[in-house]
Amino acid sequence: MAHKAIWSGFYGVVILVVVSQVALHWAPAEFALKTSESFNDIFGTTLRVAIDSMLAYLVSQHYDVFVYIRLKKLTGDKFLWIRNNLSTVSSQFISTIIFITIAFYGILPIIPLIIGQWLVKSAIAVLDTPFLYLMKYIVKNTQTKID
């Protein structure tokens, strides 16, 4: 199921890229002439950034699932917080390295960007742990009532 979710997200980004690239090649409507330049500025870089982010997404999410499953085999049903945080923090590091390097190498200093972005992503991963336990509780109680 996790791999199906990864590929579903990937296909969603592919659709976004295709639609935005088609829209870039259309002549703007009369009422949108003032904003068409901004639209082109924003979505003109979409292809490079989208391909970059899709690569980072696919590699890191498959790694995340791989690590999570291995940790689950080691811990059983205990230590959900360790599985969640170790798999997510390490996969976000991979994602950040791939994305920042491809997007900004030669344009900006990438090491500070990688460190800063990874620290923010890691903090979010740790902060979402209580919500993971809440969702587990809700799912468990919902399934019990359905059974």
Residue-wise pLDDT for 51-81, tens only, equals: 788 889 889 999 999 999 999 999 988 888 8
- The structural domain count of the chain equals 1
Q: How far is CA 39 from CA 20, 29, 45, 89, in A?
A: 10, 12, 10, 34
- Is the pLDDT at 113 greater than 80? The verdict is yes
Which of the four pLDDT bands, split at 50, 70 and 90, describes residue 3?
confident
So what's the pLDDT on residue 46? Answer: 63
CA 103 → CA 29, 37, 44, 111, distances in Å?
Answer: 31, 22, 14, 13
Output 41 or 62, whichever has higher pLDDT.
62
Percent of the chain with pLDDT over 90: 35
**Which residue blocks in the chain are alpha helix, DSSP H?**
2-25, 33-43, 46-75, 80-104, 110-127, 129-146
How far is residue 85's CA from residue 56's CA, in Å, rounded to a whole number?
A: 19
Looking at residue 5, its amino acid is A
pTM equals 0.69
pLDDT at 146 over 60: no
Q: What range does the domain containing 106 cover? A: 2-146
Taking alpha carbons only, the member of 55, 133, 120, 124 closest to residue 94 is: 55
pLDDT reported for residue 147: 47
